[in-house]
Amino acid sequence: MSKVEERTARALLHRLAIEQAESRVPSLAAALVRGGQVAWFGFRGKVDGEPPTPATQYRIGSITKSMVAVAVMRLRDEGLLDLLDPLGKHMPGTPADEVTIAQLLSHTAGLTAEPPGAWWERTPGAPADEMIASLGPDISRHRPGRRYHYSNLGFGLLGELVARKRSMPWAQAVSEEILQPLGMLDTTPRPRAPHASGFAVHPWADVLLPEPEHDHGAMAAAGQFWSTPADLARWAAFVSGHTAGVLRPKTLAEMREPATVDDGDAWIGGYGLGLQLTRHNGRRLAGHTGSMPGFLATVWADPADDLGVLFMANTTSGVQASLPKDLLEILAAHEPPLPAEWVPGSADDDLLALTGPWYWGPSAYILRLLPERGVSLTPASGQGRASRFVAQPDGTWLGLDGYYAGETLRVVRSPEGVHLDLNTFIFTREPYDASAPVPGGVDGGGWR
């Protein structure tokens, strides 16, 4: 069942109505996605005298960046570039030749936030060759890789990279490779009817000022797309894991991994590869916020619970950033997800024999079986290095997460017994088993 219950829908609409009224938003649309399907749409306010609908277009601003990033990752998966490649290898002649594609995707390239000239979000844009020609050595603000520094300019350059590698405008490549396969046919570079008009709301009076809208040329890849609540719900489903063949699931998971964090004592926000990240009440959310003159939008996805949430508004400022997270909390309070039913599985005798306690020196670990011949190795005390491992064709296991991510676990059998070799760490059935090749040896006097 995807649709929310009536009482849940009422609570969600109540939160949306409060936001529209108190933040004075001309129109506001929101949606929740569960299991890849829309569970709830909500609308308040008017567009041209009528309530907005799932087909009403709004500008989505920097959510565009995530779609450009997927196009870049597709190029990587096809072997047409590497994330560690410097930009100059594929697009020579810019002052950013030495920064890597991964740094551009994660806003760690150190580039200035905005391109030279008038504020690009409120003015017509120049084509890529003119924009690049306007760049000088002063576009660097930080040493590449040093810190997170959000750069619209960086995504303008990535859009041109996609265009050159695909021999077509970046927006056409994104549409053909990503939007059309996902069914996002109403996501376009310029508006089509019906669409909301963008407004600024006077800070001290209930009156509106129309905001400008232009083709931003080379900077369009940083935030020009228009979309609908229905299409953005499909994007939320995609980010939560319903890739529809557009991207390999492990590539999407790579995009959702933190590449950098916003500075602070305890991070609650960060950035992956083209995706913003945030933590909220135990959730790890991936998605993106978006703003352009006259418009605000946000989409978050929670892959762990297969949920997505979004809002779209035609106002320059005012919508509380907490709105989408509040909607997730209302859903969780009214309709908490049920855990999947446990069902017994099967296991080969050779794997069953490996389960139970193992010791790294005096520290006890527990090996448990996972589906498809996977295993987990966790400290018995709950404190320490824990990792899951996936079975490999050669009889070894590859670490999926934690300290041992990417490392190899081997089962070594000999006449003296059996031990585990995990990237030079030796795990034995007894603490410091003298019959195993414990690095440094075991004192011959034994325990005393």
What amino acid occupies position 156?
A: G
pLDDT at 399 over 60: yes
Domain parsing of the chain, residue ranges: 6-334, 349-427
Dmax over Cα atoms in the chain, in whole Å?
Answer: 88
User: Would you call 87 helix, strand, or coil by DSSP?
Assistant: helix
What amino acid occupies position 401?
A: D
Q: What is the four-CA torsion angle of 230, 232, 237, 238, rounded to 10 degrees?
A: 130
According to the model, what pLDDT value does residue 383 have? 87
What is d(CA 282, CA 260) in angstroms, rounded to the nearest whole number?
A: 19
pLDDT at 114 over 80: yes
Angle formed at CA 272 by CA 267 and CA 275, multiple of 5 degrees: 105
Q: How many Å separate Cα 419 from the centre of its chain?
A: 39
According to the model, what pLDDT value does residue 333 have? 97
**Residue 265 binned pLDDT confidence (cut-offs 50, 70, 90):** low
According to the model, what pLDDT value does residue 199 have? 98
According to the model, what pLDDT value does residue 345 have? 87
pLDDT at 1 over 70: no
Q: Which of 84-88, 98-102, 266-270, 438-442 has the lowest mean pLDDT?
A: 266-270
H or E segment to which residue 413 belongs: strand 408-414
What is d(CA 238, CA 187) in angstroms, rounded to the nearest whole number?
A: 15
- Say which residue the tokens 């010791």 belong to: 359
According to the model, what pLDDT value does residue 267 have? 72
As given in the structure block, the two tokens for residue 11 are 């609570």
Ramachandran class of 350: left when φ > 0, alpha when ψ lies in -120 to 50, beta otherwise: alpha
pLDDT at 2 over 80: no
pLDDT at 264 over 70: no
pLDDT digits 0-9 by tens, 333-382: 999 989 889 999 889 999 999 999 999 999 999 999 999 999 999 999 98
Contact 314, 229 (CB under 8 A): no
**Residue 263 binned pLDDT confidence (cut-offs 50, 70, 90):** low
- Say which residue the tokens 């500008």 belong to: 59
Architecture of domain 6-334: 3-Layer(aba) Sandwich (3.40)
According to the model, what pLDDT value does residue 382 have? 86
pLDDT digits 0-9 by tens, 175-210: 999 999 999 999 999 999 999 999 999 999 999 999
pLDDT digits 0-9 by tens, 407-432: 999 999 999 899 999 999 999 999 99
pLDDT digits 0-9 by tens, 304-330: 999 999 999 999 999 999 999 999 999
As given in the structure block, the two tokens for residue 122 are 């409120």
pLDDT at 135 over 60: yes
pTM: 0.92
- Please give the mean pLDDT across all residues of the chain: 95
What amino acid occupies position 202?
A: H
pLDDT digits 0-9 by tens, 50-104: 999 999 999 999 999 999 999 999 999 999 999 999 999 999 999 999 999 999 9
